[in-house]
Amino acid sequence: MIEEMQQFISAATQKVKEVRFALAFAAIAAAVALSAVFLRGYLSTVGGVVVAVNMGVMLMLAVMMIIAASKAKGEEGKKYGRLYLVLAWVFSSILALSAVLSLASVFFKWPLNFSTTSIEPIYDGDYRIVETVMIMDLRGRTPTKGIPGAISKDTKYRLDRVVRQRSTTAPYELQWGTNGTGIENIKSSTNPGMTTMTVKDSKFFKISTAHTYVSSIPSDQILLNYPTDVKTEATFVNGFSGDSEEWLGACPNIDTETLTMVLLCPGSKPCKTAKPMEDPTGNSEVPFRGNTTPVISPDGKVVTWTIQRPSKGVGYFIDFTW
């Protein structure tokens, strides 16, 4: 069977020179698409895996056919006649078309968007979060910019549905940060034994704020293999002093399935625009590359942004004007 296949390849490609060019084109397109899959990180999606496997197989077949064609002798494939010649054209056409469509899907998300259908992720840490909801309540915000001695204290509420995935003595940790004056009254209504410390350097978190804190909850207060609700809150001092624009952010430090940020704006200062941003490197923000955007209520008093499976260690920000 393998020998007959090799004879078929040699005969068809030796018979018609244009078949070689079609295969060479498909091989180049397959190689580019396969490289793009790795460079763009699409191997975390079902579509990305399909492209990687498809392109890899096509690339291998195309190279084999080109090699076979180059080694074929003049009269070697004549006995197989027109049938093999037609099949060679059909196969090379499908190969080229598939490579072009896969290439378009990787770069232009057409005809398929490979970045939207994800495979089930593998969570490998001591903890994972089923859902995090952060609510920044600025309804009682006091203007402070340019006003000596003015203080605005605004409360942030957070709910985590946490799962302890293995027996461990390591605590569950949450990070808080601000570029304002500081954060006060960090506490938990569900876990009163939570402790908090100020950090300047951490192996767990990116330090990108002027004041950073880490709260710790003992491991025995988080259920094993079952979601535990952890409710926390903190008071941000002069954390949102921008007159016309501000930002609200979150940076997951452990594997998280769903992250939702909610911004409650003052009635006298409703949100006008909200732009989703992310910081994958810790150096600079870029437009969010996912498929969700912040939603502003008709009166501008509530802004909500939900991110499915945010990447651990990446900062997500709502840059808003009001």
The tens digit of pLDDT for each residue in 191-220 reads 999 999 988 765 555 556 788 899 999 999
Cis peptide before 143 (omega within 30 of 0): no
CATH fold of 127-321 reads Immunoglobulin-like (2.60.40)
Give how far Cα 162 sits from Cα of 133, 171, 226, Å: 12, 12, 8
The top-scoring range by mean pLDDT among 89-93, 104-108, 115-119, 177-181 is 177-181
Residue type, 265: C
- Residue 63 pLDDT more than 70? no
In three-state secondary structure terms, 221 is helix
Q: Which residue has the higher pLDDT, 235 or 203?
A: 235
Residue ranges per structural domain of the chain: 2-108, 127-321
8 A C-beta contact, residue 170 and residue 219:
yes
Query: Residue 195: which of 182, 167, 176, 208 has the closest Cα?
Result: 176
What's the predicted TM-score (pTM) here?
A: 0.63
User: What is residue 309's predicted lDDT score, i.e. its pLDDT?
Assistant: 93
Question: What is the per-residue pLDDT across 91-116, written as a single tens digit (0 to 9) for each?
Answer: 666 667 776 776 676 667 677 665 55
Instruction: Identify the pLDDT of residue 83.
Output: 47
Residue 28's pLDDT band, with cuts at 50, 70 and 90, is low
Per-residue pLDDT, averaged over 213-228, amounts to 94
Residue type at position 82: R
Higher pLDDT, 133 or 57: 133
Q: Give yes or no for residue 30 having a pLDDT over 90.
A: no
